[in-house]
Structure 1
Amino acid sequence: MDHDDFPQDAFPQDHVPQDDRPQDHFPIVGIGASAGGIEAMRGFFRGLPKTLEAAFVVVTHLSPGRESLLPEVLARFTPLTVEAAADGVAVRPDHVYVMPPGCVMGIADGRLTLKTLGPATRETKPIDIFLTALALDQGERAVGVILSGGDGDGAIGVKAVKERGGLTLAQTSDGYGPETADMPLSALRTGFVDFGETTERMGDRIAAHVASESGPALKTRTATAVDEIDAALLAETFAILRRQVGHDFSGYKPSTFVRRLQRRISVIGASGPGGYLKLLRADSAEVGALFRDLLIGVTNFFRDTAAFEALAAQVIPKLFEGRTADEVVRIWVPACSTGEEVYSLAILLSEHMAGLSDPPRVQIFATDIDERSLTVARTGRYPKAYLDTVSPERIAQHFVTEGDGATIGKAVRDLCTFAPHSVLRDPPFSRLDLVSCRNLLIYLGVEAQQQLMPVLHFALRPRGYLFIGMAENVTRFEDLFETIDKRHRIFQARDAIPPARLPTTIAPDVPTFGSAGPYRRRTAIAHTALRHAVESQMLSEFTPPHAVVTRTGEAVHYSARIGDHLEIVPGQPTRELAALARKGLRLELRTALREAIEGNTRVVRDGIGVERQDGRLQTISLVVKPLHTPNETEPLFLVVFNEAAVPVERERQQALEATERDTVIQRLERELSNTRERLQAVIEEYETSLEELKSSNEELYSVNEEMQAANEELEASKEETQSLNEELHTVNSELASKIEALDQVSDDQSLLFDGMNVASVLLTPDLRIRMFTGAAAQLFGLQPSDIGRSLRNFSAPIPLTWLLDEIPTVMAENRPSERTIEGADGARYRVRLMASSRTGSRMPGIVANFTDLHAEG
């Protein structure tokens, strides 16, 4: 980060050494691995380019009470400076910092921070914690690397790095493993990993990314790339995304889309927009990577705290006013990302419900088009770095803390339902009390906003509330929403009926193949106009009155002459068709609508008497059937009022009906009696079934509690096993390293012995051979197979009596002894005896050196 970001008096220039100041303009690479991932780290550091100027921070799973030799082990693999991390140390390039055991590490202002854990405490997610802090501190200069390891640690960390523009990598299979693939696989499954690579190729990826994000060439290349992204190229990119991932991004703001596109061009190292478009055509995996980059959203708990406080004070109490325990408060959070905003609302609602004696139920529908974000949201576990805007009291009340992570409590999580859903493509929810759509409009263009806002208005109940982001507004939709709190962006739905969202019933004339020439074109145009005029006349005069309703019974379209069957009711305006029906029609219409909607079938009611506006009675046939439209976004139903006869005066109609009244009454009484008997039987069956269901539910609840207890025990056993496994990996790696060093020493010793001209023999106290040099082999005629045999068994040029007498004295006094002995052939040898002086040696030995004095002379 820049020096201007520090307070001027925080680090006085006269007292802080230059080498100890935080530096910028170099990436900081956070490496997460298990303690046993030594081979993976060896491959990573051996693959680093020598020209890469970066700092590296290694975070592993370590037991608190175990001393780590990881800095010494890593120093053998890299020429970089390797040291154990210390609290407050400034991160510098070309250095490797290793997290010590028994602590949790973070970073702030370019300096490492360490928090010591208790002796019995072991943080299970140290990699998530550090990578999250690294992303918050370094932004685009952060690089997250996930190597071999167990559990899912690192998955949330790579999400944080990716959200803030950093680079993310995870290990794939190579010559070194990964030994334990759980961590890399968990990170890859999140969809936030830019590259899955072998360890030795990761360094080249990081170097290419650093080169593309720095230097004077960046501005030139970026400006050129943006100029090259013309409308045709963007249109084809939209088409590729729509075809392969099923979502249309043409409604995005061009500047937002181009910025995300440019990041992918930079990360992948493509030769500009044209080259990247060729890659999109050929590689479906890159299409998925671009899709996930476009969905990256920055969110946190209680974002814009003052706005949430205003919502809690002005809106949430009104949601519960007049509601009983049998009713439901319905809330929708579209584009919910990883769920922080959803749980923030759930916490506010839970706190308000705690003060009510008999609160209604609450349902929060949270949707997004990104399945990976929804997976994180459903889990509800976040690093504590994500909870900096949550008060300690709320953390204690609504979260279950686990080390430096926290999980949403069950009471809050049970209020929320997460599901995939596109606000621009899928049918909306309906009859909602509150829609919280924050920081989605800022990414959408004008046309997409004009499509979305009526949808949100339709989803709300009359006088429902809309909560949007601080950078958003509904100025162009004042006919749909009125302002409650302009500063905090809280609005209320007006009772206005939005324009009908139905497809055009009369399609424009399509020229047939082969038509050409001005005469044929004018004829086609004239015929089209005539046909439209004729059809419009027929529709207005001869088509029966009709209406189109949704599956909730709300009207979205009326035909001409519909007023003979509907009337405006006093009170609050409504769009419910059955509530607007005239006397004699309301009950039949409501029943027919329910049957048609529940069974998705055609329903007909004949012989319904309706009182018209002029007081006359008319018999009609009512038809309700599903309306099938191309590209329909929600189920629609067509209601047709077939006028079966000419209206008659009320007196005449009453006279005609009087003769049949008695018969009708008797028939209705019989039907009512039968219906009551059937209803009583159904009620008894229902009560019996309800008791059985209650019993089954209690049994299932008991089984579920037992399963949860067993699952918790298995989780604890798994963590203990994983910890032991990682420690064994570390010990095994250290042992292999020591064996390798011992083999090297043995080879060096053998080479040294073979090159000596002195005849030396290493003996046991009873003169058994343990080792000898080449010169001794020639002197005594020894072979490698003679090791372990007594030196007395070999013919020697000199008598060995003195050796036998002198050895006990040399060993007892631990001093050398030397003597010149004349051999049988007249040769003279200087014999020197030395005892092994190694402390604690289990096998004391004697070294005998034989020097031919004649040869020296």
Structure 2
Amino acid sequence: MGFVVVQHLSPAHVSSLTEILARETTMPVCEVSDEPRVEPNHVYIIPPGRDMTIAKGSLALLPQERAGLRRGIDQFFQSLAEDRQHKAIGVVLSGGANDGTQGIEEIKAAGGMTFAQDESALHGSMPQSAVASGCVDFVLSPEDIAAEIARIARHPYVAPADRDDAPTGSERARIVQIVQRATGMDFTHYKANTMQRRISRRMMMHKLETIREYVDYLRRQPAEVQALYQDLLIGVTSFFRNPDAFEVLARTVFTRLLKNRKSDDPVRIWVLGCSTGEEAYSLAIAFTECAEAARSHVPLQIFATDTNAKSIDKARTGFYPRSIAADVSPARLARFFVEEERGYRISRIIRERCIFSRHNALTDPPFSRLDLVSCRNMLIYLEPVLQQRIMPMLHYALNPEGGLWLGSSETVGSYRTLFELEDVRQKIFVRLPGPPAARFSTQVPDRLPNKAHAPPTMPPREPEQVTLQRRVERLLLAKYAPPAVVITEGMEIIQFCGDTGDYLSPAAGTPTQSLLKMLREGLQVGVRAAIQRAILEKGTVRETGLRVRGSEGYREIAVEVMPLQAGTADQAAFVVMFDDGARPLRHEPPPPPPPTGSEAEEIIRLTHELASTREYLQSVIEQQEAANEELQSANEEAQSTNEEAQSTNEEMQSINEELETTKEEIQSSNEELSTINEELTARTQEMQVARDYAESIVASVRVPLLVLNGELRVKSASRAFYELFQVTPELTIGRCLYDLGNGQWNILELRRLLESILPGQTLLKDFAVSHTFDVIGLRHMLVSSCRLVQARGHEPLILLSVEDVTERREVEDALAARMDDLDKADRSKDEFLAMLAHELRNPLAPLRNAFEILQLADLSSKEHDNAQRMIGRQIDNMSRMIEDLLDVSRITEGKIELRRQPVSLESILTGATSIVRSACARHSQNLSVLMPKVPVYLDADATRLEQVFSNLLGNACKYSGDGSNITLSAERAEGVDPPEVVITVRDDGIGIAPDLLPRIFDLFVQSSRTLDRTHGGLGIGLTLVKRLIALHDGNVEAHSQGLGYGSEFIVHLPILREAPPPPPALKVRAPREPPRRILIVDDNTDSAQSLSTLQRRRGHDTCTAFTGPDALTAAIAFTPKVVLLDIGLPGMDGFEVARRLRAMPALEGVLLLAMSGYGSPEDRRQAKEAGFDDYLVRPVDLEQLSRLLREAPGGNNNE
């Protein structure tokens, strides 16, 4: 089984489907580029911008249609059905529009299998359209479709099999009998191969292996009988199928019918097997166009028949899906169709010309006096016995020179004497003159009785002009056939054939047609005997050795008498042929010697006796002929009486035909009335469905709806109205709007809307109303209203929608507040950035000054030491500001890690106070510390808490004047569980403004506190305080009476219930690190050289490099034991350099230390994966570096 994928792609689209499918299957996948032959287990993809077909197992690419609806999938499916027949499988997956539906119908008609994707389709239009056609066998998910195709591929219906699955004669007869009993249709003479394929197809669908199983299944499942019946009735058709044929019809048949035709003589057309009516309507449209072009007003009647009741019902409605736009031109759609919501409906003027009825052409009487019969693609499904019955019937039904239109694979067969081919390509025939070759019957042999209709009798037709074909046949018969006469059983000649002068001659006297009287001498006895034997034996009789006398003497001939099957059953006929096979006698006896006297007398006597005998026999013959003539006269009288009866019968038949015509017209009127009634019923149902649909919308819509009459009384309300405003239908319907719910709708704004504004406008949208209801409180609403236009005589109605936007208003208010907050945050950010620039510039001034001092030549040692200390302080300030920023970022992103362990609160507070004591001493500030009476222990990160309290104490020192008091107190809270400690930092400094106090812990918030910014700071310290305290499961509060009244910060932290065990003894400080060979790699030259200088001063041997490649070269030459490597190198980054260093055998065991300004856990993880032993954050902590060098394995520089 081969697979072909056809999809809608524009020429500019670059398809990746081939690569995608190639990754998902082991089968070869290729995009079609030439005309490959489809191979089993191969997948072929259509390229963008092309259409594709298949013929004789090979694919062919075509230019894509540039305009209109693209039907690439339909086109391929149709060619697939024609090429592969019952082995075609069509699958319609996700897609827009309805391409593929007609192709699916073609595949189903050919006996193939059809699939469509279920509701899992992302775009459901294409599969839904295919399912709506009724020609889809399976509606499954793509996974289930694949599984079903895999099963079908192994079934004998698709794959060749060794066993013979064809039903036997008895099995087929049982199936035919089951179907006939359920449906009334006899499929006895249905084409055997087609029926076998249809049965095998149904067996495959139901996973049945044998015919016996399927027969049992049919008996148990009536629905399957109907499904098989529908499969056997192949009903695939379309509008203007084979458009060229319609053009030929208009040019030949229609033009001939319209020529010199009276306006009261309708053109009658019969469409056999009309299915769902597309061809009948197409003929009506084509004839209408042709008649208008000829300016003719000849009426048209089309009788469209089919045995499928469902198809007839659909045809009568005249409604078709939008996919017909692919077959019907836009001009015809606009003129002959009415566009509706889901498709198109045939216009009324065309529908009125078409009469649809259920009719079986094999059992029901035919229509008569027809001008055209369309019998396309019906004969090919019938066996010859039925074809031989249909052709004479069609000949009888047609008028002289009427047209017969067959399918492309059909022909009139042996009935060329009845029909003459007019167009060989479109299979259009013309009825020839003359009666049918034999009587036809609507009784099908070997079938169950059908009592619904009796076989019709055919009125005789008068002889018509002999055609050219018959003249040729007569010429050939005259030249090559033997002379003959056609006689009745009474030996009366009724026709001469050829030249009979050598055997017959007119008798003397009254003219006669008697054969015996006209036979020449020597033939009467032998011919009469041969005729008598032929009558008795009812077969052919040949008499030889007869002698006839001619101008050249006697000749020997043979006579052959053959019964003739006459056209009527009341008279037998015979053909008497004269065969001149015997030549003139060559050996005539020599003349006798002259007789003697006695012999001469004897001869004379015998001659007289012979003459007497002849006279006697002649008198007997004449008496017999007289008796025959009397009998003939009586027979003629009887024949005359019979002819009179026949004439009366013909008159009765004529009356019967007139009655039949009247009956047909009445039937036509009844069908038209029935159609109108059905249309009215359908319209009523549609209106009811529309009303139910509208009511269901009103009932289910989420927005509360009210329908009011002119007095503003409620006609109806939606469920949403009752639910939102908590009222019931009993207390709502029929009441005035203002009286609902104890007058809660008596709203001034709403009254103004309905009583003043609405009467002057037909539509009003989104009128804002706010009202506080008794039950549901304050609601904000948008009221929309419109006046409904009613038919004359109906009261006006008002549709009122009340959209509750309270939640939306609340969200909008919250959003506005959030936007204000964001604006404030944005302004705070701008202020912070300005402040950050200011704070970062502050350390640069003393650093620059210290640098200039160190450049002086006559610098004292004290000045030198002061400059160094100045540089150290400013570097510490900048490091602290950067670390604070990083801490805020880590806390915000949740990346900060606390190193919790049992720790004494006293040690934390002692560390914090030691940091700020020198600053307090410089400002002569009094710092008081009150520790708890009983030691308190916390499960905390001591470093982070020391950072918190040093920040709070630093702020107190910063924002308090010289000589002010600062107090740090800690005490255990009483009666609190779990236990906690309360730490308070209090100062009598400048205090906090009331408007700033609620935001004091927000990021970037900082009070100027003084007009100058001598105290500096970034406004992030208190944010860090609050978030670090929260990470320790505590909280912090700020209090102040206002500016000039000092401030107080209170911290609550949970404590341990018991004291932890004592910590291990402190290790003895390790000695200074041994000398190392250190390679320093940094693209910042100053940073690399300064760090190299420091390490050389500490006794290490150093080498510097500024790029990745230089570092690799230096590593080979220098063979370091330690590498300090900057991660952010240009070009080859530090990670790549580390990997290559690790790969060098000479550097095995080298200590790799990463340097970077980033220090997040993710940065450290990546460095570890790249091969680094540890991570140093800039600026490098020299104590940490010294520790790492000291702990590293290895010896000295000489190692």
TM-score range, shorter chain: 0.3 to 0.5
TM-score (norm 2): 0.35
Higher gyration radius (CA) = 2
RCO higher in structure (CA 8 A, sep ≥6): 1
TM-score (norm 1): 0.47
